[in-house]
Amino acid sequence: MAKKTFDLYTFVAGTALASELPFQLSCNCGGVITIMPPVQEESVICSVCERSICMVAIEGDPGYIIGRDASGKSMLIPVQGSSATPLDQMPQGERDEILRKAEQFTKEHEQKHGSAK
């Protein structure tokens, strides 16, 4: 069996996937796909750019995932379908505070358990 490949990947709140309510999924190109429950596929196709987007379910409704950019700097990645405030509407100070707490947690974890590198 051939392995499925996708053009893009996005995190989606598990609560949105389990809900009976539709939600909006945004593509990198700016296209918006309305996801209608029940969700039966792991991917969707953007009607604007025609890229396949794999939806990676994240348990619950976390709002954001902490990731790292190409330089290794921490960044917030939105979880689509979340009820959390969209990042573009969140004050910069609030975003900075979330990242500061994540960095502090990482440092404390590495001190106790060693680096994962």
Mean of pLDDT values over 22-51: 94
Q: Work out the burial of residue 52: count CB atoms within 10 Å of its CB; fewer than 13 is exposed, 13-18 middle, 19 or more buried.
A: middle
Mean of pLDDT values over 11-15: 96
Show me where the domains of the chain are located: 8-112
Mean of pLDDT values over 12-23: 94
pLDDT at site 117: 58
Q: Where are the alpha helices (DSSP H) in the chain?
A: 14-18, 92-113
pLDDT tens for residues 87-96? 989 999 999 9
Nearest to 32 by CA among 86, 68, 92: 86
Q: Is the dihedral of CA 114, 64, 26, 44 positive or negative?
A: positive
Mean of pLDDT values over 2-23: 92
Q: Report pTM.
A: 0.82
pLDDT at site 1: 62
SS3 content of the chain, % helix, strand, coil (to 5): 25, 30, 45
On the question of pLDDT at 4 being above 90, the answer is no
